[in-house]
A = this chain, B = another copy of it.
Amino acid sequence: MNTSTSYRTHMCAQLNEDNINQEVKLSGWVQKWRDLGGVTFIDLRDRSGIVQIVFDESDNAEAAKLASTLRNEYVIQVCGNVVKRAEETINPNLPTGTIEVKCHSLKVLDAAQTPPIYIDDSDTSKESIRLKYRYLDLRKQNMKHSIMMRHKVTSFVRNFLDDEGFIDIETPMLTKPTPEGARDFLVPSRVQKGSFFALPQSPQLYKQILMVSGFDRYYQIVKCFRDEDLRQDRQPEFTQIDMELSFVNEEDIMDTNERMVAALFKKFKGIDISLPLKKMPYKEAMERFGSDKPDTRFGFELVDVKEVFKNTGFKVFADNIAKGGDIRAINAKGCGESFSRREIDALVEYVKIYKAKGLSWVKVTDDGIKSPIEKFLSDEEINQLLVTTNAEPDDLILIVGDKPSIVFDALGHLRLELARKLEIEYDREYDFLWVTDFPLFEYSEEENRYMAKHHPFTCPREEDIPLMESNPGAVRAKAYDMVVNGVEMGGGSIRIHNKELQEKMFAALGFTKENAEEQFGFLLEAFKYGTPPHGGIAFGLDRMMMLLLDIDNIREVIAFPKTQNHGCLMTSAPGPAKEESLVELGIELDLEN
């Protein structure tokens, strides 16, 4: 890699003992300086790393004098000779630690004030300060590493997909607003006043259209947008590794993608993932782990205990069963004695986050059980509960009875909370699996109708098509998510490629014919002229980087992230618009509502 320019012959960390006795020119930032009176030592930093440079007044008095005025973060250019360091001054922690550059000339390219944050990985500034001074924050070794890794990962992915016959095709950023799915970011059109573009939530329709066009294999590493209130691991604009393939079934897509991910983790983490990855149907994932993105590195699996309480006198459970609710439990093995009442109460509070009305607990001891609900339970019930949950003395059984979705959600999160609390040591660093056979529909109480679990273009399993009208909730989709350590890294599906089935899908989602026509007419029209079977997947690049870098904070893997209120602390975006601009767009502010 040749990066020499008019300002330098080498980058700092390119130098090594091979360069000894060479005259070099370097440019970079002062990372550290020590002025020993007549001799100044500088750690000079550029993207490549650090090298020590020395100004000695016995070599060049003028340069040494100027060097003594340097301060941290000054940008300088130096010329000098590479020399071997004296044995006792070798720095084994620095790749360039056996050499230094004795300088005879120095030019200050730019002076620097004292930075408001410490330019070092050990900096403890508040995140808001770091984001405001992002340009300084990005000078840190760990941030630089994240951003450069991201480049290496996308390069690797591009090369992999190139080799697999994928074609990178750009799809529009100014698209049509869609009624389904998350909230769009809208862009008012000036030329067509009163109309709006939407920023894409994903290139879904375009990539399907590209399959109709016969491009066969498409990919794009592409910005997508969702105007949502942010959780910790979300950003209003995020990046997807997006792809679509023709003439494939689920197996083909899973195969290609697990090979890609395995190659990635081999290259960047040095770990061997054995393929094919295990596959777990959605139903099993929910019933065993209470989650469609299960972390299967540890137990605490859910157990169905509804049968135990079918005739219970415990009114809470009885009422719940009467309303069609579920009762499931987790056996927190070995937590019976160690968990204090306060710790258990904290768990009771914890499940409330997930809308569970309560958490019943049963401590198993050598002498029977200890539980606040003991008095409501028959011996038979207690006995069955212990058998069903495979309980032994010192176990703690945690039970939630509620609406099925709440039971899964509360217990699914509870087992993660238990793992965190117990600091469980996993037998493997990464746990990959495919979750398959998602339900095609999800009932929305808010909208009082079935919604698409993934999106309205997902293909149902052939054998379930007859159920689309009679029992929508039971229809399984040809959909799959790649789950890593309890995180959904990517997901996709085989798509509907047939006009009639697509119309049936829209009908099941409550679209009128006119409605479907207005929103997706072009897709239905496209499906008239010969559409190949096709499917795809999209990975969240930000999440993938978090996993590859072992970073919890999504903002650390993005050069210029947004905060929770969608703002950029560096540029203070968003900002006011000029009145004339709004007039041109045919809109005005109305902040009353």
Q: Which residues of A does B touch, CB under 8 Å?
A: 1-3, 5-8, 11, 27-30, 45-47, 73-75, 77, 109-113, 115, 133-136, 138-139, 144, 147-148, 150-151, 154-155, 158, 162-165, 167-177, 179, 183-199, 205-206, 209-210, 212-217, 223, 225, 227, 229, 236-237, 239, 245-249, 251-252, 497-498, 522, 525-533, 558-560, 562, 565-568, 570-578, 581, 583-591, 593
Contact = CB atoms under 8 A, between A and B. Distances in A.
A227 B190 contact: yes
A578 B11 CA distance: 55
A167 B184 contact: no
B529 A191 contact: no
A115 B168 CA distance: 27
B172 A147 contact: no
Most chain B beta carbons < 10 A, residue from A73, A110, A531 = A110
Most chain B beta carbons < 10 A, residue from A163, A167, A498, A565 = A167
Nearest to A45: B214
A210 B527 CA distance: 45
B147 A169 contact: yes
Contacts of A165: 1-3
A370 to B, nearest CB: 48
A66 to B, nearest CB: 16
Nearest to A154: B168
What is the total number of copies of this protein in its complex? 2
A110 B497 contact: yes
A213 B139 contact: yes
A194 B589 contact: yes
A196 B576 contact: yes
Contact of A215 (B147, B195, B573, B588): B147
Contacts of A11: 216
A252 B574 contact: no
A213 B177 contact: no
Nearest to A560: B172
A585 B585 CA distance: 15
Contact of A576 (B28, B177, B525, B570): B177
Contacts of A186: 187-188, 577, 581, 585
A72 B561 CA distance: 50
B155 A168 contact: yes
Given A186-B188, A191-B566, A528 B575 contact: no
A587 B586 contact: no
A282 to B, nearest CB: 22
Contact of A570 (B139, B185, B522, B533): B522
Contacts of A560: 171-172, 206, 209
B3 A217 contact: yes
A190 B566 CA distance: 9
Contact of A151 (B169, B177, B212, B247): B169
Contacts of A217: 3, 47
B179 A578 contact: yes
Contact of A148 (B167, B171, B188, B229): B167
Given A6-B248, A47-B215, A195-B575, A176 B590 contact: no
A29 B169 contact: no
9 contacts: A47-B214, A74-B530, A111-B530, A135-B526, A147-B167, A158-B158, A173-B223, A177-B575, A191-B566
Contacts of A158: 155, 158
B177 A577 contact: yes
A285 to B, nearest CB: 25
Nearest to A251: B6
Contacts of A2: 164-165
Contacts of A184: 581
Contact of A73 (B136, B195, B530): B530
Nearest to A223: B173
B6 A591 contact: no
A96 to B, nearest CB: 17
Contacts of A205: 571
B193 A591 contact: yes
Nearest to A196: B577
A158 B97 CA distance: 33
Given A173-B225, A570-B522, A138 B593 contact: no
